[in-house]
C-alpha cells in the first residue's frame, strides 16, 4: 500500500518563481509607461508647445482618481472580496485603455485654441488617459503584492517582494534609457530640413508592452486557479470572507498607521528630490549638464541589485523595524550631506548617491513584507490600498505644486531662484522628511516588541492553564 502525498501548488519552487516572473513582468510594463513622459518633457515643449504648467497638470493626473475618487481604496476592497484573478485582469485592462487614450491624445492634432477644463484639449485628454492608467497600475501593484503573499508566505516572501520591486525599477530605468532614442529613431525630417522627433513612438511601444503584460497576467490566472484547487484538496478551512467592518480593524491598527506614515515620508523624501537632483549636480557640484543625470541614475540601478539582497536578509534574520530604522538614519545622513555646503566635488556626490541607493533599497525591502505580519491576509488588499492612497496624497501634491504651478505662474521670479538653489532647497526639504521618517521606524520597533510580549504573555497563561511549567521557549509537564 502506497501513500499519496498531496502538496500545495506553491510548495513547488519552480512554480513559485515562474508565477513571480509573470506578474513581475506585468508590473515592469506598467512602470515603463509611468515614467516614459519624463525624458520627453523638452520635446513636448518644442514639438507640441506644452509649458511647465501643462506638464505639471498632466503629471498630477496620476493620482486624480486614486486620491479624490478613492478608486485605489475601492480597488483594494474589490481585491479582498473578488480575489486576485478578477481584480488583476481588470487592472491590466484599465492600464491598456488609459495608455490607448493617452496615445490618441498625443497623436491627434486638435483645433488651435481648443480647451477643456481650462487646459489645452490635448493636454486634458492625455491627462485623463494617464489618470485611468494610474488607477490600473496602482491596483495592479497591490494585487501583485497580495499574489506574492499568497504564493510565498512562510517561504521567501521578502526576497520575492524585493525581486518584484527590482523588476519594476528595471521598467523605470528602461523608460529613462530607451524613450529618447525611440523618439529619435522614428523621427522625420521635413521639407525645410528640420528634424522632428516622433513623440508618440515610445508611447505606442508602451501600449504594445502593456498588451503583452496583460497576456502574461492572463497566463498567471490559470496557475492561481490551480493553487486554489490544491488548497481545497487539502481540506484547509477557508478564511472568513472580507467584510466592510474589516476596514475599521485596519484603520484602528497602530502598526498599519506607522507603516503608512513611514511610507509617505520616506518616498516623498526620495522621489521629488530626484526630480531636482540633476540640477543639484550642476549648481552645487559643478557637473557638466550633459552628464548631470548620470549620478542620480545610479539610484534605480542600485535598487535593482540591492533590494532583492536586503529582502533575502530580512527573510533570514527578520528585524524588519530595525532595518527600517537603519535605512531612515542613512536617509538623514544623505540629505544632510547634500544640504551642507561641504565637499562640492562630483565624486563626493557619487558616494552620497550610492548611500542613498542603499537606503532606498533597505527600507522598502523590509517595509512591504512587514504588512502581512500585522494585517490578516483577507484584509491585505485594502491595507495596501490605504497605504498607497496616503502615499499618493503626499506625492501628488508635491509634484503638481512644486514642478508645475509655481514654475508656470511665477516663472519670472521663482524660476531664477529655483535654477540657482532649487536642488539645495529640495535637499533641505528632503532632510526634514527623512528626519520625520525615522519616527515611524522607532514606533514600529516598539510595536513589534509589544506584540512579542503580548504573544509571550498569552503563551505563559496558556501554559499555566494546562498546568505546565515554562522554561524559556520549552514547556515541560510538571
170-179, 278-287, 453-462: segment of lowest average pLDDT? 453-462
**Cα gap 408→345, rounded to integer Å:** 32
User: pLDDT exceeding 70 applies to what percent of the chain?
Assistant: 77
CA nearest to 89, candidates 241, 225, 262, 236: 225
pLDDT of amino acid 397: 55
Nearest-5° angle of CA 307, CA 309, CA 314? 95
**Cα gap 344→214, rounded to integer Å:** 47
Which of 46-55, 217-226, 407-416, 463-472 has maximum average pLDDT?
Answer: 217-226
**Which ranges of 245-297 would DSSP assign to H, the alpha helix?**
246-251, 254-268, 271-283
Contact 286, 348 (CB under 8 A): no
Higher pLDDT, 134 or 191: 134
Q: State the pLDDT confidence band at 369, using cuts at 50, 70 and 90.
A: confident
Q: What is the mean pLDDT of residues 334-350?
A: 82
* Main-chain phi, psi angles of 282, to 5 degrees: -75, -50
Give all strands (DSSP E) within 418-459, no chain letters.
none
Q: State the pLDDT confidence band at 139, using cuts at 50, 70 and 90.
A: very high
Say if residue 176's pLDDT is above 80. no
- Residue 77, Cα to own-chain centre: how many angstroms? 19
Residues 6+ apart with CB under 8 A from 317: none
pLDDT of amino acid 96: 96
- Residue 290, Cα to own-chain centre: how many angstroms? 28
**Cα gap 437→268, rounded to integer Å:** 10
The residue whose grid cell reads 540633476 is: 278
Mean pLDDT of the chain: 77
15-29, 132-146, 166-180: segment of lowest average pLDDT? 166-180
Q: State the pLDDT confidence band at 56, using cuts at 50, 70 and 90.
A: confident
Q: State the pLDDT confidence band at 70, using cuts at 50, 70 and 90.
A: confident
Higher pLDDT, 149 or 240: 149
The 10s digit of each residue's pLDDT in 382-412 is: 888 888 888 877 666 555 444 444 444 433 3
Answer whether 0.95 is exceeded by the pTM. Answer: no
Q: State the pLDDT confidence band at 175, using cuts at 50, 70 and 90.
A: confident
pLDDT of amino acid 172: 81
Q: State the pLDDT confidence band at 432, using cuts at 50, 70 and 90.
A: very low
pLDDT of amino acid 275: 66
The 10s digit of each residue's pLDDT in 39-54 is: 887 888 888 888 878 8
pLDDT of amino acid 428: 42
172-176, 288-292, 332-336: segment of lowest average pLDDT? 288-292
Nearest-5° angle of CA 457, CA 458, CA 464? 90
Stretch (H or E) spanning 195:
strand 195-196
pLDDT of amino acid 460: 40
Integer-rounded Cα Rg, in Å, for the chain is 24
Say if residue 422's pLDDT is above 60. no
Say if residue 7's pLDDT is above 80. no
Higher pLDDT, 440 or 284: 284
Amino acid at each position: 500500500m502506497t501513500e499519496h502525498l498531496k502538496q500545495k501548488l506553491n510548495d513547488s519552487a519552480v512554480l513559485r518563481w515562474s508565477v513571480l516572473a509573470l506578474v513581475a513582468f506585468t508590473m515592469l510594463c506598467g512602470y515603463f509607461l509611468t515614467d516614459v513622459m519624463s525624458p520627453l518633457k523638452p520635446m513636448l515643449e518644442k514639438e507640441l508647445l506644452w509649458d511647465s504648467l501643462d506638464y505639471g497638470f498632466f503629471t498630477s493626473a496620476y493620482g486624480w482618481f486614486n486620491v479624490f475618487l478613492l478608486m485605489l481604496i475601492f480597488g483594494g476592497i474589490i481585491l479582498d472580496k473578488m480575489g486576485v484573478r478578477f481584480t488583476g485582469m481588470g487592472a491590466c485592462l484599465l492600464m491598456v485603455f488609459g495608455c490607448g487614450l493617452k496615445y490618441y491624445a498625443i497623436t491627434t492634432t486638435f483645433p488651435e485654441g481648443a480647451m477643456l477644463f481650462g487646459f489645452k484639449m490635448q493636454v486634458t485628454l492625455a491627462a485623463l488617459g494617464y489618470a485611468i492608467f494610474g488607477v490600473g497600475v496602482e491596483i495592479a501593484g497591490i494585487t501583485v503584492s497580495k499574489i506574492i503573499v499568497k504564493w510565498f508566505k512562510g517561504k521567501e516572501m521578502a526576497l520575492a517582494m524585493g525581486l518584484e520591486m527590482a523588476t519594476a525599477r528595471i521598467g523605470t530605468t528602461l523608460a529613462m534609457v530607451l524613450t529618447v532614442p525611440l523618439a529619435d529613431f522614428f523621427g522625420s525630417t521635413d521639407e525645410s530640413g528640420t528634424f522632428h522627433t516622433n513623440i508618440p513612438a515610445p508611447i505606442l511601444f508602451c501600449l504594445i508592452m502593456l498588451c503583452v503584460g496583460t497576456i502574461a497576467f492572463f497566463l498567471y490566472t490559470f496557475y492561481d486557479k490551480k493553487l486554489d484547487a490544491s488548497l481545497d484538496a487539502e481540506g484547509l478551512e477557508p478564511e472568513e470572507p472580507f467584510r466592510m467592518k474589516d476596514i475599521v480593524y485596519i484603520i484602528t491598527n497602530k502598526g498599519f498607521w506607522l507603516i503608512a506614515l513611514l511610507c509617505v515620508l520616506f518616498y516623498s523624501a526620495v522621489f521629488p528630490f530626484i526630480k531636482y537632483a540633476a540640477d543639484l549636480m550642476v549648481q552645487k557640484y559643478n557637473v557638466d549638464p550633459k552628464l548631470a543625470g548620470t549620478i542620480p541614475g545610479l539610484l534605480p540601478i542600485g535598487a535593482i541589485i540591492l533590494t532583492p539582497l536586503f529582502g533575502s536578509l530580512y527573510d533570514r534574520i527578520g528585524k524588519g523595524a530595525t532595518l527600517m530604522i537603519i535605512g531612515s538614519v542613512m536617509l538623514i545622513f544623505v540629505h544632510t550631506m547634500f544640504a551642507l555646503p561641504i565637499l562640492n566635488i562630483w565624486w563626493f556626490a557619487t558616494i552620497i548617491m550610492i548611500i542613498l541607493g542603499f537606503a532606498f533599497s533597505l527600507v522598502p525591502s523590509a517595509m512591504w513584507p512587514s504588512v502581512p505580519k500585522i494585517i490578516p491576509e483577507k484584509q491585505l488588499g485594502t491595507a495596501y490600498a490605504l497605504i498607497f492612497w496616503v502615499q499618493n496624497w503626499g506625492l501628488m501634491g508635491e509634484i503638481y505644486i512644486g514642478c508645475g504651478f509655481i514654475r508656470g505662474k511665477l516663472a519670472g521670479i521663482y524660476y531664477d531662484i529655483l535654477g540657482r538653489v532649487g536642488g539645495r532647497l529640495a535637499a533641505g526639504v528632503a532632510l526634514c522628511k527623512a528626519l520625520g521618517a525615522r519616527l515611524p521606524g522607532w514606533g514600529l520597533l516598539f510595536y513589534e516588541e509589544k506584540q512579542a510580549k503580548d504573544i509571550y504573555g498569552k503563551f505563559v497563561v496558556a501554559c499555566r492553564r494546562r498546568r505546565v511549567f515554562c522554561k524559556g521557549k520549552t514547556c515541560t509537564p510538571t
